[in-house]
Amino acid sequence: MTKPENYTQFEDSLRADKPRENWPETLKSLWFIAKGDWEASHNIAQDINSPMGSLIHAHLHRIEGDDWNAKYWYRQAGRTFPNVSLDTELKQLVEKVLIEKK
């Protein structure tokens, strides 16, 4: 499977043991978040030097309750701290990555 076409297909992919090798690093990082593997996601996200990488990094620090660090990463992405649940933010991030060009 190339990138999932939509969030439902992304959720279906979570039945696998690992994300697809041909996926972009941003999607792999989000996949590990959805699987509950903070460390694997963080290891990928910290090497993604883009606004999306910063957003994923911010989301990860939000998950761990480190709002100070999360706010730093949101600023790096040109965003403010979100006023949505973690689940909603994860879905928004996945959907944004899915519509990006490969």
pLDDT at residue 102 above 80?
Answer: no
Q: What is the largest CA-CA distance in the chain?
A: 37
* pLDDT tens per residue across span 40-83: 999 999 999 999 999 999 999 999 999 999 999 999 999 999 99
Mean pLDDT of 22-46: 96
Q: Pull the structure tokens for residue 9.
A: 């297909």
Contact 24, 102 (CB under 8 A): yes
Q: Pull the structure tokens for residue 94.
A: 């996945």
d(CA 70, CA 7): 24
Where do the structural domains in the chain lie, given as residue ranges? Answer: 7-99
Helix axis angle for 51-63 and 38-45, nearest 10°, is 150
